[in-house]
Chains A and B, each alone.
Chain A
Amino acid sequence: MSAPPSPFVFRRTDSPQDAARWDRRRALVTNLRSVYGRAYPRLIGARREPSWLLFEILLPFLTTSAFVFVYRALDAPSEFIGFVVLGGAMTAFWLNILWMMAAQLYWERDQGNLELYFTAPISMMSILFGMAIGGLFMSGTRALVVLIVGATLYGVTFAVDQWLLLLAVFLLTMGALYGLGMVLASFFLLSGREAWHLSQGLQEPVYFVSGLNFPVGRLGLLGALAISTIPLAVGLDAMRQLAFVGSEHVYGVLPAWAEALILLAMAALFISLARWMLRHIERLARVEGKLTMKGT
């Protein structure tokens, strides 16, 4: 059986409109190529300049360690050290979303790439998906190092009963977080110069209301609000319940399976919203022609 012909082979057409009519396979292959193309500079950049190993892994690990020592200074129960290590691992993803997803379209505009994305025959989702995959490599490595080294160095003992549910919760958290990142990317682009400051302002306050170093349930109403709006808060709460089974300090807001469902709903909502917002900004870019203007 011969392979199907490449969708990229030149074919003579009668008009530009005819040339623009692509079959589904060609559109899909082009978008997959875009995903790879956008992920490539991040993956290859990580290999070509290893300074990120120090700045993205070792030093953030020390930050996490600072919170471990705060608990040690307070003679906290050992589970709290585990909460800090788990939270430290998850910050990698949140920072990646803020700085390498949400603020990225804004920077792409400053670099002059954004208009190329809008005029290229690709979906903007594929660009953002490529960014996410490229960024996941670095943040995933950082999270893994924090988790493994932190657990080993500080003697954290995980008690997991439901590995599959834990894995599902993690993946759903990633889906919801990166969906939110895509929404924020459009939002930050529309909000102009505030993108920079929004990224800054969404760090520590989000860490606090998400209960990064302590059970979010202890925040009362604020924690409940966070559970219903911030994927990081729900994901962490569910993962804490699944990774420290039997601990009296976990203080989960809802059962882990219910939080998995919330994450599923969040992932679907954020990805749909991102799709709609990206189409909206693409239309704005084409109709008004102002979105790609620098310094707005």
Chain B
Amino acid sequence: MSAQPLAARKRDRRSDYAATWRAFRTAMRLGWQTEANWADPLLFFIYSVAKPVGAAAILVFMVDIISGGRADPGIRVFVVVGSALWSFVVAGIAGLAWSVLDDRERYRMLKYLYVSPNSLLVLLLGRGAARIGIGAFGALITLLIGALVLGVPFDVLRVDWPLALIAMALGLASILGLGLILAATVMQTRQDSWSYPEAVAGALFLLVGAVFPLLVLPAPIQVVGLLTPLTWWLEGIRHALFPGILSGVGGAGSVYADWTGRLTPSTAEIVLVLAASTAVVLGIGVAFFRWSERRAKEKGLFDQITGS
């Protein structure tokens, strides 16, 4: 048998990429339609912002009660930005996992998606991307409310845009990696796994110090936090949007300061650690997802609904 000519192989590869992109786009559109076409735009807007704004309101109120309304503005910024960005995490992690549960338990389409010529991974990433878009909307509105109502001093001219863009891109990739790990997990578990994404996001909320500096946590938990890309993503975005803001990673007496001898990480350090930890999480996510996919196929889990 003769080897395939180089031009033909290139053509095949291009056609593969085109098919993958088409599948991703279609899945993203389907995800958006599933999420958004149930209500009129006003109701959808209320739904999209109620959760993140409610979460931010809880934290701001906690700060205000304790400080008697005289909290350091830096703390308020820290809390508002952390809770606004967290809607990306909840949406991203839940997006992939709920797509598996939706398609298996509710629409019963998972088995058909699996046997379709497209990669299940690409389809789920597309669905997850749609939810991240909705999460982004919630985050943006929360930041806007923070700036307009809660007194967060946002100055568009002081923003470090390159850092913001790089940190956001890497952060989203790490969220998708975590989402893949959870999607792979719920592929193996039962219907009541609906609450698992929120539980995982809630646990990460503590570990990465989303709304408080890591240094208030016990040292071993600080170490876990330092190994998690979300910690560095939050740090990067905070530094980009509000240069000179309180560091979530460092500070006097923190594990970071003990290890490095410095109180706050530099921009390059943030990007480097974020990139490295994202690569690790993405790698683990893809490998775990592939394993879970194989196991689900062997055990017939794609069409095993588990109503309880």
Contact = CB atoms under 8 A, between A and B. Distances in A.
Nearest to B210: A66
Nearest to A76: B66
B46 interface: yes
B259 interface: no
Contact of B62 (A51, A74, A134): A74
Give the contact-size bracket for chain A: 35 or more
10 contacts: A55-B193, A62-B202, A62-B207, A69-B206, A69-B209, A74-B67, A111-B305, A194-B43, A200-B51, A204-B55
B65 A218 contact: yes
A193 B34 CA distance: 10
A244 interface: no
Interface in A180-218: 192-194, 197, 200-201, 203-208, 212-214, 218
Contacts of B55: 204
Contacts of B199: 55-56, 59-60, 63
Given A51-B189, A62-B207, A208 B202 contact: no
B54 A203 contact: yes
A66 B194 CA distance: 22
Given A95-B195, A197-B39, A204-B51, A45 B308 contact: yes
Contact of B47 (A75, A80, A201): A201
A161 interface: no
Nearest to A215: B65
A197 B66 contact: no
Contacts of B209: 69
A109 B194 CA distance: 17
A42 interface: yes
Given A197-B38, A197-B47, A212-B58, A66 B202 contact: yes
B279 interface: no
Interface in B125-139: none
B212 interface: yes
A63 B83 CA distance: 13
Interface string B37-58: 0110001001100111111011
Task: Identify the interface centre among A52, A76, A208, A212: most chain B CB within 10 Å of its CB.
Answer: A208
B111 interface: no
A248 interface: no
B307 interface: yes
A71 B62 contact: yes
B196 A55 contact: yes
A170 interface: no
**Chain B at the A interface: mostly helix, strand, loop or mixed?**
helix
Contacts of B54: 203-208
A99 B67 CA distance: 35
Interface string A50-81: 01100110111011011101111111100010
Task: Identify the interface centre among B199, B205, B213: most chain A CB within 10 Å of its CB.
Answer: B199
A208 B61 CA distance: 9
A248 B112 CA distance: 60
B63 A74 contact: yes
Contacts of B192: 45, 52, 100
A118 interface: no
Contacts of A203: 51, 54
A43 to B, nearest CB: 10
Interface in A93-121: 95, 99-100, 107-108, 110-111, 113
A49 interface: yes
A66 B205 contact: yes
A45 to B, nearest CB: 5
Contact of B61 (A42, A100, A108, A218): A218
Given A201-B50, A208-B61, A70 B211 contact: yes
Interface string B205-232: 1110111110011000000000000000
Given A63-B203, A70-B212, A208 B62 contact: no
A289 interface: no
Contact of A45 (B47, B52, B190): B190
Contacts of B39: 194, 197
Contact of B216 (A72, A95, A107): A72
A199 to B, nearest CB: 9
Nearest to B191: A107
A110 B218 CA distance: 46
B210 A67 contact: no
Given A204-B50, A205-B50, 8 more contacts: A45-B306, A51-B193, A55-B200, A62-B207, A65-B206, A74-B66, A208-B57, A208-B61
B59 interface: yes
